[in-house]
Structures are given as C-alpha cells and as structure tokens.
Amino acid sequence: MTTTDLHNPADGSHLATIALLDAEAVDDAVDRARTAQRAWARLAPVARGEGLRAFATVVRAHVEELAALEVANSGHPVGQARWEAGHVADVLTYYAAAPERLFGRQIPVAGGLDMTFAEPIGVVGVITPWNFPMTIASWGFAPALAAGNAVLLKPAEWTPLTTIRLGELAAEAGLPDGLLQVLPGKGSVVGERMVTHPGVGKVVFTGSTETGARVMAAAAPTVTNVTLELGGKSANVVFADSDLERAAATAPYGVFDNAGQDCCARSRILVEESAYERFMELLEPAVAGVRVGDPADDATEMGPLVSRPHWEKVASYVPDDAPVAFRGAAPDGPGNWFPPTVLTPSSRTDRAVVEEIFGPVVTVQRFRDEADAIALANATAYGLSGSIWTRDLSRALRVARAVEAGNLSVNSHSSVRYATPFGGFKQSGIGRELGPDAPFAFTETKNVFVHVDEDPAPEESA
Ligand code: NAD
C-alpha cells in the first residue's frame, strides 16, 4: 500500500502517515455511492434536510478538534481554523433548507401541463486543494448532498486530516453508509479516476488553473459536467479619494491572510499616482504589524507556508535583487516561515505581477486615472476577486462593473459568504459555488409535459 508522511508546517515534526488509495478503490467507492444515492434521493425532502442538520450539529460540536487538526496539518492560525470549522457547520445548515426548496417550474403551454423537475445528477466528485481543506470541501458536498446526490471527496495530498475527520463525523451524524466517502490519494491516481469514471456525473474541482484545465480535458470523453474554481491574481485598487488610512491598514489582511495561500488574495495593490507616497508610508507599519508566529497561539494572524516545496516556490519570487520595498517579521528556526513581503516592480509584466505566487508577497503599482486602473486590474488571465477603495459611490460602481472578476468588494476585502455566489471569470474558473442557487448546479433539469384532453362540452361547464 502507498503511504504519505505529513509534517507540521510550523516546526517540521512528523504528524501522521496516511494511506493513499488506488484507482480500484475509487471504482468500489463509486459502486457504494450509487447504491447509497438511490436510497438518499428516495427519502422525503424533509428527511434529507434533517440529515444535513444533524451533520451540522456534530460538526459544530467538534469545532475545537477540527481547528486543532488544521493548525497542525496546515499551519492555519487557530482563530482562523475555528472560523473554518464553524463555517462548515454554517454551510451545512444553510443547505439543509435546500431539499425542501428545490423548486421546479410550471410553464404555460398549449394542450396540457408542463413542469420541470430538478433531478439529482447521481454521484458527484469533489476534488479540493490544500489551502482551505474544510471550507472548500463543504462548498461542494453540502449543496450536492442537499440536491440528492452522493459525494466522493478527494482531499489534497498535503492536507487530508480534517477532511478524513469530516467523513467520520458524517457517519457519526447518521448519514447513510457510502453517501459521503473521503478518498485520500494522489491527484494523478484517485483524482484522475474520479474524473474519468463513467459513473461520476459531475466533478467540482478547486485548485490551480493548470490542473483545472487538465481535469476539464479528462472530463470531456465522458461528457462529465465540471465546476472549476481555479487560481487568482486579484487587484486591490486604491483611489486617492479613499480613506487611505483604512485602505492601508487593511491591505495586508487582504493578501497575507492564510499566509497569502488564498485564491482571493489581493496580491496586486494598485494605487493612484497622487496618493502613492502617502499610501506607502501608511502601508509599511501596517505590514510590520502583522503578527506572524505560532499558529496555535490565539493572537497569531499569519502562520507558516504549508510545505517546504511550496516555500521554495514562493521564495523564487523574491530573489536577492528583488525590488523589496519593505518586509514584515517571521520566526527563525524550523518551519516554513516566510515574512510578509512588499515588492515594487517597475515593469507591468514582471513575473511577480503576472503569476499567482500563493504566498505572502504583494506587488504595489501606480495608476494614472480610472481607465488606467481598470486596464491594470484586468491585465491578467485570472478573474476571481478584487477590492475597490474610493469615497465616490458612482466610481465604485463603475469600476466594480468594469473589472472582469467574479467577486468584488468596495471599501472592504470580503469575498466569501455562504449565502452569496462565488467563482471566477476568465481562467479563474467555470460555474459558481455557494449562494441560493448552488444546489441546482448538482441537478439536471427534467421537463415533463402532461397532455390534458380538451373539455368535450366546454359551453356546459362554463
Ligand atoms: P492543485 O491543482 O495542485 O491540486 C488541487 C487538487 O487536484 C488536489 O487534490 C490534487 O491532488 C488534485 N489533482 C492533481 N492532479 C490531478 C489530476 N490530474 N486529476 C484530478 N485531480 C488532480 O492545486 P493546489 O496546489 O492544491 O491548490 C492551490 C491552487 O488552488 C491555487 O492556484 C489556488 O488559487 C487555487 N484555489 C482556487 C480556489 C477558488 O475557489 N477559485 C480556492 C482555493 C484554491
């Protein structure tokens, strides 16, 4: 049996050895999932809702345990990890209402009655990345289960522990055997088999754009439906008329949260020329103030990077001659520590400006006017997120409509709420997760027409 060793990113210590499944295990899982799904879909909608509410209750009772696991496996600060575990319970609670609200439509037609049904797809594969293992898994499995599907869930190789635990908690909550199965394994083995298996009707993939494109191609021969949540290189656009103090004080948290390992990280700060010097003066102490350290400490705001290979990738964007404006602090010693780093490249096509770094490295660039700000914000293959700082509401709305991204915030860095849709434009993805419509992404629309005989004696019955 193939195994993998997991290490604590904060100190390098050995954490666990995990068995990696093979392709045959995926085939067996699909068979079990099909059986479980048929029974689940036959349940009354209220019973499926109760199942999800019970799951939410069990997750909420294990928030501390799940958070501690995420701290150890992923290096997330404990306050953030608690939020993530609580968010899973919130997402389950939100979608527990969905089975009773999977409305179809009655459409006026001649000669009878026409209606639509939202039918479950069947078996759904959810493939997650290592940066937010719990939350991203729940965005897939909660609405998919609500819509009457079974779910196979593959966590990323580096961070499977909380996902494995969520699978156990689902069973503890009484979800039927086989309905939600966690399949740890390699992307090239378990992930690929999930995508190509003819019994899997839909795949929700979250990860890099490169792998997402491969998943889409692998899904094509079986015409398997995909939702793709991919990379990002989002802009934080700061106009001179904004509350510069607030814009600068919050900018580090818009990019350095989760050590920058966030698909929505505002990793390109764009500042109007006339406010640039003042903004940089304000940004320096804000970056120095980010509390980087032991993720198990309640006061910590930023932990280590997830792994050594990832640390090396991030470090490659800050060579000795990099245009470093200033940096924050990071602990010495073992662990994948990387300080918050601010770069000011002179070229608009610098590698650090164009590529997703996925670490605590941000670039700051100047723009001339509104049109230049929009052009710069859109000068990327990605289109996931972004922020706009201005006191001019009309400008805020003009720019928000012009930026090609799925999730924008004005005078804030908010991206994710379970009640609102989330996803990317351009190479940041296809489809949307979360929000009221998410369960419908896990259904097929069926149209049924019922012929109605003409009234044989219309005058008499009138
Ligand atoms: P990755 O693409 O390397 O891996 C993601 C998942 O895909 C892992 O579980 C991996 O095992 C699996 N995988 C790898 N090869 C596969 C294959 N051939 N077939 C099927 N599955 C395969 O991504 P990562 O490094 O884990 O995550 C970081 C990336 O994820 C970043 O680019 C980030 O922006 C993106 N991301 C996007 C969102 C979003 O919602 N848009 C959210 C979080 C992360």
Domain ranges of the chain: 2-230+428-448, 235-410
* Statement: residue 460 has pLDDT above 80: no
CA 419 vs. chain centroid, Å, equals: 14
Give the closest residue (by CA) to ligand 1 atom 36. 207
State residue 98's pLDDT score. 98
* Statement: residue 182 has pLDDT above 90: yes
Does the beta carbon of 157 lie inside 6 Å of ligand 1? yes
Same fold, 2-230+428-448 and 235-410: no
Q: How far away, in angstroms, is 140 Cα from ligand 1 center?
A: 14
Per-residue pLDDT, averaged over 256-271, amounts to 98
Quick check: 369 and 392 in contact, CB under 8 A? no
* Statement: residue 449 has pLDDT above 60: yes
Just give the CATH number of 235-410: 3.40.309.10
Percent of the chain with pLDDT over 90: 97
Encoding tokens for residue 136?
Answer: 């991203």
Q: How far away, in angstroms, is 211 Cα from ligand 1 center?
A: 6
State residue 457's pLDDT score. 85
Does the beta carbon of 262 lie inside 6 Å of ligand 1? no
Catalytic-labelled residue, pool 263, 272, 301, 356: 263
Pairwise CA distance, residues 297 & 75, whole Å = 11
Does the beta carbon of 178 lie inside 6 Å of ligand 1? no
Phi-psi map region of 94: left, alpha, beta (phi>0 left; psi -120 to 50 alpha): alpha
Pairwise CA distance, residues 29 & 22, whole Å = 11
Mutate to test the pocket of ligand 1, among 206, 214, 420 (most ligand atoms within 8 A of CB): 206
Q: Are strands 112-120 and 2-7 parallel, antiparallel or unpaired?
A: unpaired
State residue 39's pLDDT score. 98
Does the beta carbon of 182 lie inside 6 Å of ligand 1? no
Give the closest residue (by CA) to ligand 1 atom 16. 187
Active site residue 284: no
Catalytic-labelled residue, pool 84, 157, 229, 356: 229
State residue 201's pLDDT score. 98
Does the beta carbon of 232 lie inside 6 Å of ligand 1? yes
> Which residues contact residue 349 at a Cβ distance below 8 angstroms, ignoring those fewer than 6 apart?
none
State residue 461's pLDDT score. 55
* Statement: residue 442 has pLDDT above 80: yes
Q: Are strands 112-120 and 443-451 parallel, antiparallel or unpaired?
A: antiparallel
Does the beta carbon of 195 lie inside 6 Å of ligand 1? yes
State residue 414's pLDDT score. 87
Work out the number of other CB atoms within 10 angstroms of the CB of residue 53. 16
Per-residue pLDDT, averaged over 372-400, amounts to 98
Beta-sheet strand order (sheet of 235-238): 324-327, 341-343, 361-367, 268-272, 235-238, 385-389, 407-410
Does the beta carbon of 314 lie inside 6 Å of ligand 1? no
Pairwise CA distance, residues 55 & 166, whole Å = 9
Per-residue pLDDT, averaged over 376-400, amounts to 98
Does the beta carbon of 270 lie inside 6 Å of ligand 1? no
Per-residue pLDDT, averaged over 327-348, amounts to 96
Mutate to test the pocket of ligand 1, among 26, 91, 131 (most ligand atoms within 8 A of CB): 131
Q: 333 vs 401, which has greater pLDDT?
A: 401
- pLDDT tens digits for range 64-80: 999 999 999 999 999 99
Active site residue 264: no
State residue 421's pLDDT score. 98
Does the beta carbon of 202 lie inside 6 Å of ligand 1? no
What is the residue-wise DSSP string for 48-104?
HHHHHHHHHHHHHHTHHHHHHHHHHHH---HHHHHHHHHHHHHHHHHHHTGGGG---
- We find that the CATH architecture of domain 2-230+428-448 is 3-Layer(aba) Sandwich (3.40)
Q: How far away, in angstroms, is 164 Cα from ligand 1 center?
A: 18
Q: How far away, in angstroms, is 435 Cα from ligand 1 center?
A: 22
Does the beta carbon of 307 lie inside 6 Å of ligand 1? no
Q: Where are the alpha helices (DSSP H) in 104-199?
A: 133-146, 161-172, 192-196
Angle between helices 133-146 and 161-172 (to 10 degrees): 40
Per-residue pLDDT, averaged over 236-254, amounts to 98
Average pLDDT, the chain: 97
HSE-CB for 113 with a 13 A CA cutoff:
6
| The ligand 1 atom nearest the CA atom of 422 | 40
| The ligand 1 atom nearest the CA atom of 214 | 18
Encoding tokens for residue 30?
Answer: 């699909």
Per-residue pLDDT, averaged over 343-348, amounts to 96
Does the beta carbon of 90 lie inside 6 Å of ligand 1? no
Nearest to 236 by CA among 370, 412, 427, 424: 412
Per-residue pLDDT, averaged over 9-21, amounts to 97
For residue 459, name the pLDDT band (cuts at 50, 70, 90).
confident
Residue with tokens 């990793």: 267
Q: How far away, in angstroms, is 393 Cα from ligand 1 center?
A: 36
Mutate to test the pocket of ligand 1, among 135, 159, 200, 208 (most ligand atoms within 8 A of CB): 208
* Statement: residue 462 has pLDDT above 70: no
